[in-house]
Amino acid sequence: MDGDTLKAKSTFETLATLRIPYTGIDAKTFVLNCYKDAFKECLLENHVSTPAYAIIDSLNNIDSEQITPLLPAMVKLNTHMGGSIGMDETAICYTLEQVRTRCETIMKTFKSKALVEKYIKGKELTGIAIQRDNDIDVFVGQKIFSADYSFCSWKAVWIDEDSYAYNGPYDDSDGKIRELCIGGFRACGVTGYAKFDILVDQDGTPYIVDINPNCSLGQYDSAIDVVPSLFGRKFEVSLFAIINTALKVNKQRALEVAPQKALYFHT
């Protein structure tokens, strides 16, 4: 809303006040997940793997002893603006000076603190978690990038339709990714559905690098349809589960919302 992600919380608050059922997370969880350091702390506190990181709010606070162990590092906005905003070829930094330059760009351009995160080189996966009654279904696909890309940059997401594709269902026979997604789902207070960006290092250890607990809920082009479809899951089945969960959760939300004065709309 007006380029400010946080303003979107008013949508959740209005729906809750008017007791109109809606899918997905509530306002409190939305705000929490707007800040990458906040959701990463939730993951760590619940023993869910996420790459080591540091938050930079001033160029004067770039400490070589703190940053050097993170190199090479992925440097991105701490504020979750969605859609890989600000992610380009300069996001991966190999030296302290590159980190400094990248942090300066982020703070000046986007007015956001910078998240310096240890770069995990390996497979990039998308995990889709859909709540169904008391269970959580998890579907995982591996992104296969074209020769022009090595990670999901802004251009890869929004400009080049052929930047990556999913090459069939991902083999999670050991259950590591499922366990990771369910752990992240519960740690971050997600309701209904979520999309996880996951990296798997050379040793096979998976890490959650981002979570979108309010991802695009649409058919055909959205990950919440594409990835489950790799497993033969129809979008209608997922949508039914999401709406069914929303109806149950909203009954509880209605009980938690204090009676409000009538709202008057003037024209």
CB 49, CB 208: distance < 8 Å: yes
Q: Among residues 140, 154, 237, 241, which one has the least CA distance to residue 196?
A: 140
Give the residue, 156 or 78, on which the prediction is more confident: 78
% pLDDT > 90, the chain: 64
CB 121, CB 106: distance < 8 Å: no
Confidence of residue 240 (pLDDT cuts 50, 70, 90): very high
CATH of segment(s) 10-50+120-256? 3.30.470.20
**Tens-place pLDDT, residues 67-111:** 999 999 999 999 876 667 778 888 999 999 999 999 999 999 988
Q: How far apart are CA 103 and CA 61, in angstroms?
A: 11
Q: Determine the distance from the C-alpha atom of residue 157 to the mean position of all C-alpha atoms in its chain, rounded to a whole number.
A: 14
pTM over 0.85: yes
Confidence of residue 114 (pLDDT cuts 50, 70, 90): very high
Domain(s) of CATH 3.30.470.20: residues in the chain: 10-50+120-256
Q: Alpha-carbon dihedral of residues 64, 110, 223, 126, nearest 10 degrees?
A: 0
Q: Is 133 exposed, middle or buried (0-12, 13-18, 19+ CB in 10 A)?
A: exposed
Considering only 136-145, 227-236, 250-259, which range has the smallest mean pLDDT?
A: 250-259
Q: Among residues 99, 109, 145, 146, which one has the least CA distance to residue 125?
A: 145
Domain range 52-119, its CATH number among 1.10.1660, 3.90.1200, 3.30.1490, 3.30.70: 3.30.1490
Domain(s) of CATH 3.30.1490: residues in the chain: 52-119
pLDDT for residue 2: 57
Q: How far apart are CA 73 and CA 90, in angstroms?
A: 11
**Tens-place pLDDT, residues 9-65:** 888 889 988 888 899 999 888 888 889 999 999 999 999 999 999 999 999 989 999
pLDDT for residue 34: 87
Two tokens at 177? 């990714």
